[in-house]
Amino acid sequence: MTTAAVRVNDVSKKFRLYHERNQTLKSAIMRGRTSVHDDFWALNDIDFEVPQGSTFGLIGSNGSGKSTLLKCLAKIYWPDKGTITYNGKMAALLEVGSGFHHELSGRENIYLNGSILGMSKKEIDRKYDEIVAFSGVEQFIDQPVKNYSSGMYVRLGFSIAIHVEPDILVVDEVLAVGDAEFQEKCFGKFREFKRDGRTVILVSHAMPTVTAMCDQAAWINKGKLMTVGPVLDAVAAYTGSLDLES
Amino acid sequence: MQYLREVLSAKELLANLTLREVKGKYKRTIFGQLWSLANPLAQMLIYTFIFSVIFTQTAPTGSPSGLKSYALFLLCALLPWLFFAGVVNAGTSSLVSNTGLIQKVYFPRIVLPLSQVGAVGFNWLFEMAVLAIALSLFGNFVLPWIPMVLLVMIILAVFAAGVGLLLSVANVYFRDTEHLLSIVLQIWMYLTPIIYKVEFVQNKSDQLGGLLGTPVTLIDLYRLNPMEHFVEVFRALLYDNRFPDWGDLITCVVWAVVAFVAGFVLFARKEKGLAEAL
């Protein structure tokens, strides 16, 4: 029995659906209240464990709440109920290149972005060459990133993020970046992660990707956890429900 | 407590974000860092022209320094004020303008407003160094007071950081904050003895006596403004070359501590909801 890398305990997340929202002082004072709203529970008592060293997929239709769950896992949203506990260092990759400063060079942005993602200067110094080599923008590393093509931009961003080397990596569908060659490199990096016994949590719409990469998966529908278990079972349950609808 | 530890562990990120602001600000300008002097110099020229040339006012004499220059008298107070206003302005919009970052990456959000203190402070340090040189050229003996000036600069930075933290959160919930702020800062500046000396208010207050039959005088109300005390301290050190009034100094420290603790506590409480509220 392996230990859990991430333990999600009865997590619920509520959003407010505003009928009236007074974000200006005038309206707040005039109406005597800041908002009128209904509660909408985007997640309802989600409870599962992600085993250590596994690659774990989160699947579901649009609006099912899987992105909300991902943001809770990434500590961007805080659950209204329940807790999430981590066994190790967590890093999230929801968007590549967030926090890049356009006027600064690729080199300066590696240090800036690396520290936003939680790396120390020493760590970045050590991994610097590897990051640059992986991104494949060696030639342009001293150019301001605003002159980068969009492909170079995301490759550099992805390369920094992947080199944070956390124990637990939370990834959104950012795999669809770069050309086929770069994607192959990314998959290779994920396999390496797995070999090192790190845990990856992945959200994707692409079932082939999920079945190819993950060994465990959870299917979420309308904020509720439907199935959790081996990837083929979860994917089968999910696609089965789609066939049933159509 | 755990929050405090997390914030402390992010000091490298804070340094990097500060550096991003500093490096990015004057990138691709010909004059670079010199632009940081342009704004205070322009204001100095305007006020000096109005007060010394048009109104033909005599500049106050520094005692014991004996310095008599309206332009320098003004700058000793204007530079600290512009720093304060700059930090509060940039700090207030720091969360809203980094929405993309806050919604995509987890890090202690407090570094965003705090990095503005560092970035504006860096320019301020440069400006103050130039002022110190100018004062020395005019015969002021500034050198022995520099450690004390640096200490008061840190106290003002703490105060500005506290106000910036409070307003940055307020701005997330009420976007009016940053628009209202520019007006408030303008009024605040004239309520602070920057372009005039505090004796004017003192004289007026003595004439009026207790307001509305109470023992409260105009100067009592006037002195509720924390920036008045900061400005007095900076002027005593730089323009007069004397040790500032202990009352002013203690008031500055108290305001700084109160503002920072209030800002920090509010921030710690609201931080978790920021990604949603933005």
Tell me the HSE value of B12 on the side-chain side, using a 13 A CA sphere.
15
Q: Which of A24, A95, A112 sits opposite B16 (nearest CB)?
A: A112
Query: Given this model, what pLDDT does residue B1 score?
Result: 67
Whole-number pLDDT of residue B103: 84
* Percent of chain B whose pLDDT exceeds 70: 100
Residue B105 to residue A99, Cβ atoms within 8 A: yes
CB-based contacts of A159, cutoff 8 Å, min separation 6: A131, A132, A134, A135
Instruction: State chain B's mean pLDDT as an integer.
Output: 88
Residue A40 lies in a domain: no
Per CB-CB distance under 8 Å, the chain B contacts of A78 are 272-273
Nearest to A120 among B12, B20, B102 (CB): B12
Check whether B257 has a pLDDT greater than 80.
yes
Q: Are B229 and B152 in contact (CB under 8 A)?
A: no
CB-based contact B20 A118, cutoff 8 Å = no
Are the C-beta atoms of B205 and A55 separated by less than 8 Å? no
Q: Is residue A217 part of a domain?
A: yes
Whether residues A92 and B106 touch (CB distance < 8 A) is answered with yes
Going by the DSSP 8-state scheme, the letter that residue B57 receives in this structure is: P
Contacts of A139 (CB under 8 A, 6+ apart): none
Neighbours of A84 (CB within 10 A): 18
Residue recorded with tokens 């609006």: A63
Least CA distance to A98: which residue of chain B? B101
- What's the predicted TM-score (pTM) here? 0.86
Distance CA A66, CA A85 (A): 18
Supply B159's token pair.
Answer: 């105060």
At residue B120 the predicted structure's pLDDT band, cuts being 50, 70 and 90, is: very high
Q: Is residue A38 part of a domain?
A: no
Q: What residues of A are in contact with residue B100 (Cβ under 8 Å)? A: 95, 98
* Minimum mean pLDDT range among A18-32, A99-113, B107-121: A18-32
- Segment A12-31 shows an average pLDDT of 72
pLDDT (tens digit, 9 = 90+) per residue, A149-180?
888 888 888 888 888 888 888 888 766 666 77
CATH number at residue A70: 3.40.50.300
Give φ, ψ of B35 to 5 degrees. -60, -25
Q: What is the dihedral of CA B173, B174, B178, B183, to 10 degrees?
A: -150
Where exactly are the structural domains of chain B?
29-277
User: Which residues of chain B have a Cβ shorter than 8 Å from any chain A Cβ?
Assistant: 12-13, 16-17, 19-20, 23-24, 27-28, 100-107, 173-176, 180, 272-273, 275-276
For the beta carbon of residue A166, count every other beta carbon within 10 angstroms.
Answer: 22
Nearest residue in B to A35, CA atom: B173
Does B258 have pLDDT greater than 90?
Answer: yes
**Given an 8 Å threshold on Cβ–Cβ distance, is B20 in contact with A25?**
no
Q: Over chain A, what HEC string results?
A: CCCEEEEEEEEEEEEEEEEEECCCHHHHHHHCCCEEEEEEEEEEEEEEEEECCCEEEEECCCCCCHHHHHHHHCCCCCCCEEEEEECCCEEEECCCCCCCCCCCEHHHHHHHHHHHCCCCHHHHHHHHHHHHHHHCCHHHCCCEHHHCCHHHHHHHHHHHHHCCCCCEEEECCHHHCCCHHHHHHHHHHHHHHHHCCCEEEEECCCHHHHHHHCCEEEEEECCEEEEEEEHHHHHHHHHHHHHHHC
Tell me the pLDDT tens digit for each residue of B174-188: 888 889 999 999 999
Distance from CA of A142 to the nearest CA of B (A): 14
Residue B62 is classified by DSSP as P
Asked if B176 and A24 come within 8 Å (Cβ–Cβ), the reply is: yes
Q: What's the CA dihedral at A179, A183, A189, A194 to 10 degrees?
A: 170
CB contact under 8 A, A23 and B272: no
Residue A78 to residue B273, Cβ atoms within 8 A? yes
Q: Taking residues A2-15, report their average pLDDT.
A: 79
Through-space distance between the first and last CA atoms of chain A, rounded to whole angstroms: 39
Write out pLDDT tens, residues B220-242.
Answer: 889 999 999 999 999 999 999 99
Q: Which domain holds residue A171?
A: 4-10+50-245
* pLDDT, tens digit, 9 for 90 and up, residues A26-50: 777 776 666 677 778 888 888 888 8
Q: What is the mean pLDDT of residues A79-90?
A: 83
Q: Return d(Cα B240, Cα B88) in angstroms, integer.
A: 28
The Cα–Cα gap between A225 and A233 comes to 14
Q: Per the CB < 8 Å rule, is B104 touching A34? A: no
Higher pLDDT, A223 or B116: B116
Distance of residue B157 Cα from the nearest chain A Cα, in angstroms: 24
Phi/psi of residue A171, nearest 5 degrees: -125, 135
Residue B221, number of CB atoms within 10 A of its CB: 13
The domain tally of chain A equals 1
Confidence of residue B170 (pLDDT cuts 50, 70, 90): very high
User: Cβ of A107: how many Cβ atoms within 10 Å?
Assistant: 14
Residue A229 confidence class, pLDDT cut points 50, 70, 90: confident
Mean model confidence pLDDT for chain A = 81
Triad B111, B113, B119: Cα angle to 5°: 90
What would the pLDDT profile of B57-85 be if each residue is shown by its tens digit? 778 888 788 888 888 999 999 999 999 99
pLDDT (0 to 100) of residue A1: 44
Q: Is A60 part of a structural domain of the chain?
A: yes
pLDDT of residue A175: 61
Strand-pair category, A4-21 with A35-51 = antiparallel
Which of B80, B70, B79 has its CA nearest to residue B47? B70
Q: Is B59 helix (H, G, I), strand (E, B) or coil?
A: coil
Residue whose structure tokens are 């004397």: B242
